[in-house]
Structure 1
């Protein structure tokens, strides 16, 4: 079996497991989960932003000279998708938006996470591992958010748990399974373009999605958590160079 595929798939399984833990924690230990979610978000954001700028973006620029355009495209694609979900769809269907629309948005995002695993691990095990560190960590608050939004939308605890698991957890390994066979067949230049798209998406998740949410919480040590994520990412990159 292809080592890169196996590693990517195991990373996506780990991501699904962490998401599932988030769902379980918020259901069984709601106070603790809500109290510490911000720290997970900040740490994950620090890792994702650092890994993107220090390793993934330079790597993609080496592989494809048009990579800056794809980097912008990856960022804007997630931005416009989230704007569509939160502004257009939610405004048109306010009752549905409470639970179903966020679930669909997170499900799509988690599927893209699985595709990102395929892309980054196709480049190298090291590149994939760096991306996976931050991505796996941000799955924990994602599971919590999905479950809470479904509860607020009027779903029962059991239904919310099942739907959150399917949308936020299972979609990640599914994205890896469906995308890796195609990605493993493409040339270096196209892979560089996909890697740059992925970097744009990772920067969006870290800088535009996770950090603003964390800032609204005003947690005392949120900045420390983010700096911890940056230091971890920098330490891993420096040790491998």
Structure 2
């Protein structure tokens, strides 16, 4: 049973890693097409990340522990304070745009992807069927996470190849890493701790979507960006339905 469960959870987490990697490759390999449609990808990703956080991750974390709102606040304000600290003190004499616009949001998405890996371990240890149901919904949001991580890093000034590698390490590889680290000790991770981690990751995702993605979309004023935002929200609803 251990080998079957471990094999299933490992397969699911690496599938998530693959889907995220496909998103990164797609947006990085087709430069002209990507540049023309970058705002549409960003608005779509904002719709997915913010909506999934509000309609699924946050309610689920509160269901698991009453302390989740505190960790939600810590996740959101923590990234904001780090960003302000870097901008004010570290970047006073040098241009640190690449850190505040690219690296800090990357850390937030990486944290969420790592926790996704932990969730795979938890759900598959309940039963393989439960894990498969959870994986169906979770894998759907991996593609836009990879896309937005790459786009933020590229807009921050990183070369395309370097941005792609960093996005892979942060958004894709962290999911199987979270699974492999958590699986041996999964029985020691109680519901309260997982709920707190979910709240923390939700705060980080809302921060990335609300303070980096949506303002960038508004500044560009592209004609059909609201349509792609609505499509992202619709996909988020489908993700929640598929997990329900």
Q: When the two structures are superposed, what TM-score results if normalisation uses the length of structure 2?
A: 0.78
Map of 1:8 onto structure 2: 13
Q: Shift in Å at residue 217 of structure 1?
A: 0.7
Map of 1:111 onto structure 2: 110
**How many residue pairs get matched?**
227
CA distance in 1 between partners of 2:173 and 2:218 (Å): 32
Q: Shift in Å at residue 192 of structure 1?
A: 1.1
CA distance in 1 between partners of 2:55 and 2:78 (Å): 22
Map of 2:126 onto structure 1: none
Counterparts in 2 of 1:99 and 1:147: CA distance versus 1, 3 Å: same
Note if contact 2:44-2:230 (Cα within 8 Å) is conserved in structure 1.
yes
Structure 1 unaligned segments of length 5 or more: list them: 152-159
Structure 2 unaligned segments of length 5 or more: list them: 1-5, 124-130
Map of 1:203 onto structure 2: 206
Q: When the two structures are superposed, what TM-score results if normalisation uses the length of structure 1?
A: 0.79
CA distance in 1 between partners of 2:97 and 2:56 (Å): 38
Map of 1:54 onto structure 2: 55
CA distance in 1 between partners of 2:89 and 2:48 (Å): 31
What is the Cα-based RMSD across aligned positions, in Å? 2.8
Question: What is the SS of the residue equivalent to 2:236?
Answer: helix
Note if contact 2:120-2:179 (Cα within 8 Å) is conserved in structure 1.
no
Question: What is the SS of the residue equivalent to 2:223?
Answer: coil
Map of 2:163 onto structure 1: 164
CA distance in 2 between partners of 1:187 and 1:163 (Å): 38
Map of 1:42 onto structure 2: 43
Q: 1:223 aligns with which of 218, 226, 235?
A: 226
